[in-house]
Structure 1
């Protein structure tokens, strides 16, 4: 393969990996928004259904969302090598999250309900995380490699 073809193939593979990682981590974040204290303690007692626990919501999804979205943004930009690469996980994460906010389960509940403060904060903080990373990229743009490979 010639260098430009190999470079394009690697970029395409990086986009694919970024898309897959974004889908998997977004589903994890959505699931963590409904985690409750009773469910977490049930996990330590050997119960398998930790999502139906009673008690207050645990905001574990919030720091997980910040860390994962920063990692996704950094991974996308580093592997794809273009500043537009941050748009791939950001747009996909936003579409999946807003789709989950408008989707009802078979029981009639929303995946990300308006009465779940963790879900609302995750939607806000997740998007702001990508925005802050994009702002930092604007302030410190990518530098082109002076030596061609």
Structure 2
């Protein structure tokens, strides 16, 4: 069962990370177009929307909780944390065939998302470490 939980955690992490990467390029014009029912929201104009940052925090907290809860071990947080970090750093250093970076250095949302995403896992791990141990029931 743990192996299945690890596999599901890996799959969820990959899907969530790709969604976060896509949201990092969303612009305000595209966001307003989304509410108007337009289908091509990625080519919007204006400033970057920044929606990926709170989504990254929420999703990564969910991934951390899911991994620990389903795998049942405290080391389980390392599975989505390491995979998410490797995907983020890989996307930041990979060029497309046109020569663009997947997560460019001129995209402040992507840079903040990488920082906040990893810090979210670190905070979750820190809270797990600092959680007081449950006292064993006293014998009656």
- The TM-score normalised by the length of structure 2 is 0.90
Q: Structure 2: how far apart are the matches of 1:141 and 1:61?
A: 33
Residues 77-114 of structure 1 show CA distances to partners (whole Å, capped at 9, x for unaligned) of 01101010000000000000111101122332211111
1:126 paired residue number: 117
> Structure 2 residue aligned with 1:19, among 10, 18, 41?
10
- Mark the CA change 1:40 to 1:84 in structure 2 (over 3 Å): closer, same or farther: same
1:103–1:110 contact (8 Å) kept in structure 2: yes
CA distance in 2, matches of 1:86, 1:125: 16
Mapping for residues 1-149 of structure 1, pairs under 5 Å: 10-140=1-131
Q: 1:106 to 1:46 in 2, by over 3 A?
A: farther
Provide structure 1 residue ranges, at least 5 long, that are not aligned to the other structure.
1-9, 144-149
Distance in 1 (CA, whole Å) between partners of 2:28 and 2:96 is 22
CA contact under 8 A between 1:83 and 1:142: conserved in structure 2? no
| SS of corresponding position for 2:115 | helix
- Deviation of 1:141 after TM superposition, in Å, equals 6.7
CA distance in 2, matches of 1:41, 1:105: 28
Q: Distance in 2 between matches of 1:142 and 1:27?
A: 36
Secondary structure of residue in 1 paired with 2:42: helix
What is the aligned length?
136
